[in-house]
Amino acid sequence: MNADGTNVRRVTADLDPQTDPAWSPNGEWIAYVRGSQGTVGVDLRELWLVQPDGSRNQALTTMGVSSYSPAWSPDSTRIAFATNVASTQFDIYTIGLDGKDEQRVTDTAEDTFEPAWSPDGKTIACSEDGAIYVIDVAGAAATRITDKANNDSSPAWSPLSTG
């Protein structure tokens, strides 16, 4: 819809639950989480992509597990997300827009959620066990930047200055 609430339009027609919409920085795609029931009533959550006009609605992940919180890289070429694909533990992964080149970013003892890319695309912030961590996407170890006693979550970056 427009910022003033006019021109509301539906971009997906699925009946499955849909959450966590995230616009790509270049405005060409919306990533979202689409839920469905798996075998034996297991709740599955996969990442999907759709163009803002509702065309090209397609699955990005087909992991058969739960994936949440899609976050776009600043150049709109990758999406970071939380998933439990490797175990019951949630970690942060990134994936290319073609659904390939999946890369694990965290490997932690606690669930890790809510990825947020830095404006330069070199670092991802995330929440784990009540603290905010930053991880170099190239593979450096995670650095805790807040105290877990505060139960911090939902990291966000200040945009780069353009002036």
CATH of the domain at 31: 2.120.10.30
Q: Measured on CA atoms in the order 114, 52, 103, 40, is the torsion positive or negative?
A: positive
pLDDT computed for residue 163 by the predictor: 56
Domains: count for the chain: 1
Report if residue 111 sits inside a domain.
yes
Report if residue 157 sits inside a domain.
no
Please provide the average confidence, as pLDDT, over all residues in the chain: 89
> pLDDT tens digits, residue range 84-99?
987 788 999 999 999 9
Report if residue 53 sits inside a domain.
yes
pTM of the model: 0.90
149 φ, ψ (degrees, to nearest 5): -65, -20
Report if residue 155 sits inside a domain.
no
Report if residue 144 sits inside a domain.
yes
E-assigned strand segments in the chain: 18-23, 30-37, 43-50, 58-59, 67-72, 78-83, 91-96, 103-104, 112-117, 123-128, 131-136, 143-144
